[in-house]
C-alpha cells in the first residue's frame, strides 16, 4: 500500500509541493464546504495555542490557505488526516470553503500519520507525545522499535517519553502546560512514590529550580530517604542478634513505618514450652 510506504516520511510524501493555486484543475485537489469536514478522532494534539491560532487566522484572511487540508472520505463528508489548526483557523476566519487533498488511509495509518506529522513539526507537548505513543502500542500493537522507525527518533527517547505517564497528574499537567521541562520530569521519576515526586515538584515550582538544580534536589531527597532505613536496619539487626542469643532460636523482625511484628521460630512442642517459659519471666 502506497500510504504504508510513506509513513516513515510523514505527510510530506502525501502532499504535493505546489500551492493550491497551481494545483487547480488536477483531480487530486478539490474545494469543499468547511462544514463537510470532521476533526481527526486520533489527533494526538489536545492543546492549540490561542496566540498561534490568531496569527494563522490573520494569515488566512490575508492570503487564504496556502497548503490544502489532507482528508479521507467519511460517510457523506470527510475526516481530517492533517491540518486541524488550519481548519480551526479557517472556521474562525469565516471561510465557507477550503482546499482539500483526499487520501485513502486506514484508521491505523491515520493515527500514525497524525503522530508522525505533529512530532516532526514539534507541535506536541511531552504528555501528548507520550499518550500518542501509548495509543500506538495499546491499540495498534506497535513495538517501541517500530515506533522509533516511524517517527525517526531513538528508541531510548520513546521509552523515556512513555515513562512520563507514570508521574502524578499535576506534574503531567505542568509538563503539558510547559511550566516544567522534560528534564524536570525525568528527574522526578528517579524518586520512589508519588508523594516524594509531588514534594520535589512543589519545591521546584516554589524556587523556580532549573533541571540541574532539580537533579541535585532529587539526589538529596533520595539520600535523606535512604538514611533512616539504613539506621533502622542496623538497629534491628542488633536486636535480632540479642533476641536470638536470649531465646536460643531463629527470630525475625518485620516492620513498616512505626508498625511491625516479631516472629520467633520453634520446631517442637517442647521448644515452644521452653520459649513460653522464657517470655513469661
Active-site residue list: 84
255 DSSP β-pair partners: 260
**Three cell numbers written together for 46:** 489536545
CB 147 within 8 A of CB 136: yes
CB 130 within 8 A of CB 137: no
CB 99 within 8 A of CB 30: yes
CA-wise closest residue to 46 among 128, 139, 164: 128
Amino acid at each position: 500500500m502506497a500510504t504504508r510506504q510513506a509513513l516513515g516520511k510523514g505527510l510530506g510524501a502525501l502532499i504535493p509541493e505546489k500551492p493550491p493555486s497551481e494545483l487547480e484543475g488536477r483531480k487530486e485537489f478539490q474545494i469543499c464546504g468547511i462544514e463537510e469536514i470532521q476533526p481527526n478522532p486520533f489527533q494526538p494534539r489536545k492543546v492549540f495555542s490561542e496566540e498561534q491560532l490568531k496569527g494563522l487566522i490573520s494569515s488566512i484572511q490575508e492570503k487564504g490557505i496556502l497548503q490544502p487540508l489532507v482528508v479521507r472520505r467519511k460517510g457523506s463528508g470527510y475526516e481530517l488526516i492533517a491540518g486541524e489548526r488550519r481548519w480551526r483557523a479557517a472556521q474562525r476566519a469565516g471561510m465557507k470553503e477550503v482546499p482539500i487533498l483526499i487520501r485513502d488511509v486506514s484508521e491505523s495509518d491515520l493515527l500514525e500519520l497524525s503522530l508522525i506529522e505533529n512530532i516532526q513539526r514539534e507541535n506536541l507537548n511531552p504528555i501528548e507525545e507520550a499518550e500518542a505513543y501509548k495509543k500506538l502500542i495499546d491499540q495498534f500493537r506497535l513495538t517501541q522499535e517500530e515506533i522509533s522507525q516511524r517517527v525517526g527518533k531513538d528508541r531510548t527517547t520513546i521509552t523515556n517519553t512513555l515513562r512520563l505517564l507514570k508521574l502524578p497528574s499535576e506534574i503531567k499537567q505542568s509538563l503539558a502546560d510547559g511550566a516544567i521541562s522534560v528534564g524536570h520530569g525525568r528527574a522526578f521519576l528517579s524518586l520512589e512514590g508519588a508523594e516524594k515526586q509531588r514534594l520535589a515538584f512543589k519545591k521546584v515550582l516554589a524556587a523556580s529550580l532549573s533541571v540541574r538544580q532539580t537533579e541535585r534536589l532529587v539526589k538529596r531527597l533520595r539520600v535523606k530517604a535512604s538514611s533512616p532505613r539504613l539506621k533502622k536496619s542496623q538497629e534491628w539487626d542488633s536486636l535480632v542478634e540479642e533476641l536470638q542469643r536470649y531465646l536460643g532460636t531463629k527470630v525475625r523482625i518485620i516492620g513498616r513505618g512505626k508498625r511491625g511484628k516479631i516472629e520467633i521460630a520453634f520446631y517442637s512442642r517442647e521448644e515452644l514450652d521452653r520459649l513460653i517459659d522464657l517470655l513469661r519471666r
